[in-house]
Amino acid sequence: MRILVTGGAGFIGSAFTRNVLADDYAGLEGSHVTVLDKLTYAGNLANLNSVADSDRFTFVQGDICDVALVTELMGTVDAVVHFAAESHVDRSILGGADFVLTNVLGTQTLLQAALGANLTKFVHVSTDEVYGSIEEGSWTEDYPLLPNSPYSASKASSDLIARAYARTHGLPVAITRCSNNYGPFQFPEKVIPLFVSNLIDGATVPLYGEGNNVRDWLHVDDHCRGIALVLAGGRPGEIYNIGGGTELTNKELTGKLLEATGRDWDAVVRVDDRKGHDIRYSVDITKIANELGYAPQVPFEQGLADTVEWYRTHREWWEPLKVRAAIDR
């Protein structure tokens, strides 16, 4: 299979690319991967160093809003896995224009170009944040979309556009919605790498409000495994939730990171809560489990310990990124 991976130099896209080229996924063995990435602040070619010399790998620097480029690439592949997105909630609160441009128009550009190609599958990678916030229970895939941030609204919009192309044009689109990812190579503006890198440097970490917001944590390898299952066997026109099964409050997560780095609560600075901060996310994974045999395989405690150790031993990867992006320490 020839796969176009958009945003493949980012955190999740690069993990998927590395794992495909390692032949980790049944049904995708021997696949060729073409990565299309604009290399914005969160895109990093170093994430692909381990596969850069593979004869099954091609890198193209470009924008998913570039109609001519996207149309050309669509003619060279059998399937698309669309990761490319602006994804940081705080940045979207400061200004939503880039999120609408990339997440909405970029997705539409890809879908339109795909109409002229002979694709077997177009996997649109989305987020559980499109559902909004849920006090109890878990979201199934037919739950109404009630996004609360400019980021999640832009992703919900792209989901609806993808669904429309599937229904109107018969494009073989499947949508995945994941919970919070963690793991190696995650850009250090996100909570786990930000906290870990700050804490091992002796700096403080910011905790929103009382820290009672709940997130379900999903190791990036489990997420990519679920995406691979959808690519290989998911039904066109369907939506699949992918979760990790570990719900923690932000305060509980902070406590685990303090323990892992040998710091105490004196390192935590309480800050004003984020505007429109969703209280709780929780996805029901029954559908992907029953249809495709998905189950998270990375125990959270082990995955978190491995992730902390990765950041501890890969300062040369994350330190320049924090400086370049002027991330508060």
- By annotation, the residues acting in catalysis are 128-129, 151
Distance of CA 187 to the CA centre of its chain: 11
Distance CA 136, CA 179 (A): 16
312 within 8 A of 245, measured Cβ to Cβ = no
Could you write out the three-class secondary structure of 194-238? HHHHHHHCCCCEEEECCCCCEEEEEEHHHHHHHHHHHHHHCCCCC
Return the residue matching tokens 């299309």.
36
Element (H, E) at 36: strand 32-37
Count of C-beta atoms within a 10 Å radius of residue 104: 18
